[in-house]
Amino acid sequence: MSKTERTLTPSLTKKLWLVFILIIVLMGASYIFITGYFANKYNQATTQKLNAKVANHLIEEKFQNASPFLEDGSINKELFGDLMHDMMAVNRGIEVYLLGNDGEIQYSVVLSPSENEAAEKVSLTPIQSFIADEGENYILGDDPRNPGEQRIFSAAPFDINGKKGFIYIILAGEEFQMISQNMLAQYFVKLGIGATLLTMFFAALLGILSIWFLTKNLRLMTKTVRKFQEGDLTARIENPEKSDIEVFAKSFNEMADTITGNIDKMQSVDTLRRELIANVSHDLRTPLAIMKGYIETLQIKKDTLTEAEKQEYLQITNDNVDKLSGQINQLFEYSKLEAEQVTPVKEPFSITELSHDLIAKFKVIADKKEITLELNNPEENCMVYADVSLVERALQNLIENALKYTAPKGKVTMSLNKKNKNIEICIADTGTGIPLSEQPYIFDRYKQVNKNSKKQGYGLGLAIVKKIMDLHETTITVLSKPKEGSSFIFNLPAY
Ligand code: ADP
């Protein structure tokens, strides 16, 4: 078992876990951040609304009896000193500013002095909108001690002895900010730890369950693949269409089928090859033994044999050489076809002409055997699209067989018929016929129906015909009845 396969499921589970934890952490962090952000805003809005009238109260309370300006127009520092005392007692977080009519800072009361350089002016726009809607809305104004930053505030206009301006109160001053940030940080830590732990616990529980469910199918598949790998060729993934990874499950099953199919094919090829070797050696040995016998006789009895006898023996030897070379050629031809070394060169040609030529060629043999050999439907010129030499080879084999298995006075007929887009070619004889039980096997290699028949050839003739049909993507059918005869029929595309 290879290492990659062994770790197939665990590594996937690991990745799922990693993604899961990452999601939890990200979700936790964004949850805390979002809650913190909105809690802070909510808090500020509430504080501002609650303290919206603080500036008005200050003007009403403090400036009723005493003016913020002295007679010479300078600031009444005593009044503001008094104000500072009040602030110290009530709210250390606020900062009070006396603004001129253009927003310039004329005086400020701040409890904790800052290192930052205070601004000289603040923007009047937020102050004016605050006054206009009477502090109903949440508005941020400039923080004089941290220019560029914005704070919640309360503001009110004043007009004292012709001096106009604003009282501008920063409600969440620096001290407030410091305390609030501190609190927020503590809250974040507590909330963060609590929420993360709780989420982690439930997520882990859910995670274990869902990962177990999600990978259940995968585990089953891995088990099947392993079983197959260990040699159980029948192992298949059950109900692949219900699997989470349907393509994988189906592909595996198909691959397993192909592999087992190939193994079966290889085994049967091997059996047939062994059969062939046995048949070939037997069939080659017979003519060789005959030849050897006659040659030896010619050598030993060369002085006593008459000239006529010598000629006869030489003729027999010659016939056997022909037979042997014929058999070897057939074998060679078949192995080339089987090894798929032959590619058909298709072209249009006249099957009528070819049939005429073949009939003429076999006429001599047919006449010798007193068999009538004829072509049916010769008037029409039928054109087909096929490999002419391969078709010729197939027809030769079929006519040879027909003549071989037909007794004298019999008849062999070749007919051509147009059927739709095809030309149907039929070679019929009135010969011995083939038993029904044998018919399915005659196109198999080396199958000889009657092993003891003297007429039997190599058992390759029809196998070659079948291979040629395969190359033309067509099939050949046999209709045969013992003692009545056989017909071999196939179609070729008409041109
Ligand atoms: P063989 O060389 O033995 O003829 P073939 O492959 O040509 O081999 O044929 C296979 C078998 O099919 C033959 O042995 C024979 O029994 C049977 N066969 C083929 N053609 C005919 C036919 N026209 N009539 C009767 N039997 C036939």
CA of 463 to the centre of ligand 1 (A): 10
DSSP state at residue 238:
S
- Pick from 103, 56, 57, 63: which is nearest to 82 by CA? 63
CA of 444 to the centre of ligand 1 (A): 11
Among 1.10.287.130, 3.30.70.260, 1.10.260.40, 3.40.50.300, what is the CATH number of 246-336? 1.10.287.130
pLDDT value of position 10? 62
The yes or no reply on domain 343-493 and CATH 3.30.360.10 is no
**Structure-block tokens of residue 226:** 């392993």
3-state secondary structure of 41: helix
Q: Can you give the length of the chain in residues?
A: 495
**Structure-block tokens of residue 156:** 């009110």
What residue has token string 């919640």? 152
- The stretch 309-316 carries a mean pLDDT of 93
Instruction: Give percent of the chain with pLDDT exceeding 70.
Output: 92
Pocket test for ligand 1, best of 280, 412, 462, 487 (most atoms within 8 A of CB): 462
pLDDT value of position 61? 80
221 within 8 A of 237, measured Cβ to Cβ: yes
Torsion sign over Cα 272, 278, 281, 284 = negative
- The stretch 193-204 carries a mean pLDDT of 78
Highest mean pLDDT range out of 122-136, 234-248, 261-275, 331-345? 122-136
Q: Is the pLDDT of residue 226 over 90?
A: yes
Burial of 449 (0-12, 13-18, 19+ CB in 10 A): middle
Could you tell me which residues are beta bridge partners of residue 385? Answer: 348
The Cα–Cα gap between 362 and 163 comes to: 137
pLDDT digits (tens, 9 = 90+) for 321-355: 998 898 888 888 888 888 777 899 999 999 999 99
CA of 443 to the centre of ligand 1 (A): 9
What residue has token string 């008409």? 494
Q: Is the pLDDT of residue 5 over 80?
A: no
Whether residue 491 has its Cβ less than 6 Å from ligand 1: no
pLDDT value of position 374? 93
**Structure-block tokens of residue 291:** 């030849």
Pocket test for ligand 1, best of 276, 449, 455 (most atoms within 8 A of CB): 449
Global confidence as pTM: 0.51
* Same fold? 246-336, 343-493: no
The average confidence (pLDDT) of the chain is 85
Q: Could you state, in order of their start, the residue ranges of all structural domains in the chain?
A: 52-170, 246-336, 343-493
More confident residue, 373 or 220: 373
Q: Is the pLDDT of residue 453 over 70?
A: no
pLDDT value of position 297? 92
DSSP 119-133: PSB--SHHHHHHHHT
Q: Is the pLDDT of residue 309 over 70?
A: yes
More confident residue, 366 or 218: 366
CA of 442 to the centre of ligand 1 (A): 7
The Cα–Cα gap between 489 and 484 comes to: 17
Among 1.20.58, 3.10.620, 3.30.450, 3.30.1360, what is the CATH number of 52-170? 3.30.450
Element (H, E) at 417: strand 411-419
More confident residue, 238 or 386: 386
Q: What residues contact 367, with CB distance under 8 A and at least 6 apart?
A: none
Q: Is the pLDDT of residue 475 over 50?
A: yes
Which has the minimum average pLDDT: 71-85, 225-239, 297-311, 411-425? 71-85
CA of 127 to the centre of ligand 1 (A): 113
348 within 8 A of 385, measured Cβ to Cβ: yes
Which has the minimum average pLDDT: 114-123, 164-173, 421-430, 473-482? 114-123
Q: Ligand 1: which atom is nearest the Cα of residue 463?
A: 6
CA of 325 to the centre of ligand 1 (A): 19
Output the residue whose Cα is nearest ligand 1's atom 16: 449
CA of 400 to the centre of ligand 1 (A): 9
pLDDT value of position 173? 65
Whether residue 431 has its Cβ less than 6 Å from ligand 1: yes
Q: How confident is the model at residue 446 (pLDDT cuts 50, 70, 90)?
A: low
The CB density around residue 309, as the number of other CB atoms within 10 Å, is 13
pLDDT value of position 256? 94
Q: Is the pLDDT of residue 424 over 60?
A: yes
- The stretch 72-76 carries a mean pLDDT of 80
Output the residue whose Cα is nearest ligand 1's atom 14: 448
Q: How confident is the model at residue 227 (pLDDT cuts 50, 70, 90)?
A: very high
Could you tell me which residues are beta bridge partners of residue 103? Answer: none
Torsion sign over Cα 353, 354, 357, 363 = negative
Whether residue 153 has its Cβ less than 6 Å from ligand 1: no
pLDDT value of position 140? 92
**Structure-block tokens of residue 8:** 């197939």
Q: What residues contact 116, with CB distance under 8 A and at least 6 apart?
A: 145, 146, 147
